[in-house]
Amino acid sequence: MGTERTARGRGGGAEPRGRWEGLWQTATSRRTLTGMGLVLVAALLLGAGVVAYRLYAARQELRAQALLGEALTKAESVTEALQGGKPGDLKPEAAQEVLGALQKVREEYPRSQAAGLALLQVGHLQYRLRRYAEAARTYEVYLGEYPRGPFVFWAAMGQGYSLEGQEEWERAARVYEAAAERHGGTPLAAEALMGVGRCYEALSRPREAQAIYAEIVKKYPDTVWGSLAERRLAFLEAS
């Protein structure tokens, strides 16, 4: 009898233990599956959010491009007027309307690619209107906001030309030098170096100008800038 009780006691202890182990494994498996499910849901929500944002950004870009197109259409009439006369012949309100339309693109869609192009166009128009100080500041803003933008070179050249318009030859030369260094080995660098040489001539530093023109002729002989530099070099040597 005692032996029977002992066996039953042992068997009775083993049976609950096995039952609890099974329940624990089941609970653990459920928690694991629940955790995996939550991760999957979070990933799906994140993916949906990314897609939604991209769609939103694409729609915003299309709207910005459309608004920029309207502004550029208005700018065409101003450009035609400037080609046939002087900035003073243009009605101030006409120029201001175009500038306002371009600024509107930046104000309503500041993160769009169209905003950068609109800013560049503002600088171009200000330069054509001979508002050189304003144009120089606008180009500087572009270079600060879009240091790796697609129009960095043209903004730098615009800033250089605007500084030349104010007869700030030293500053203009530094701007051109930076542009030439950034685009070294390309025809863009040759154009920028021509600006450096031009500023040295304006500063009555012919030897430095000659050195720049000689560099252009040597490095970029088969470009229009190489031909122009060769002419300037011959002129200075004959002077």
pLDDT tens-digit series, residues 86-127: 666 677 788 899 899 999 999 999 989 899 999 999 999 999
Joined together, the tokens standing for residue 16 give: 């609950």
What is the domain-level CATH number for residue 234?
A: 1.25.40.10
Q: Is residue 216 part of a domain?
A: yes
- Say whether pLDDT at 12 is over 60: no
Q: Are residues 172 and 206 in the same domain?
A: yes
- What's the pLDDT score for residue 22? 59
- From 155, 189, 208, give the residue that closes a domain: 155
d(CA 119, CA 34): 52
- What's the pLDDT score for residue 83? 72
- Say whether pLDDT at 197 is over 70: yes
Do the beta carbons of residue 167 and residue 200 sit within 8 Å?
A: no
Provide the total of helices (H) and of strands (E) in the chain, helices listed first.
Answer: 9, 0
Q: Is residue 54 part of a domain?
A: no
d(CA 63, CA 4): 88
Mean pLDDT of 17-34: 59
- What's the pLDDT score for residue 7? 46
**Domain that includes residue 205, residue range:** 167-239
Q: Is residue 53 part of a domain?
A: no
Do the beta carbons of residue 128 and residue 99 sit within 8 Å?
A: no
**How confident is the prediction for the chain on average, in pLDDT?**
84
Counting the structural domains of the chain, the total is 2
Q: Are residues 179 and 227 in the same domain?
A: yes
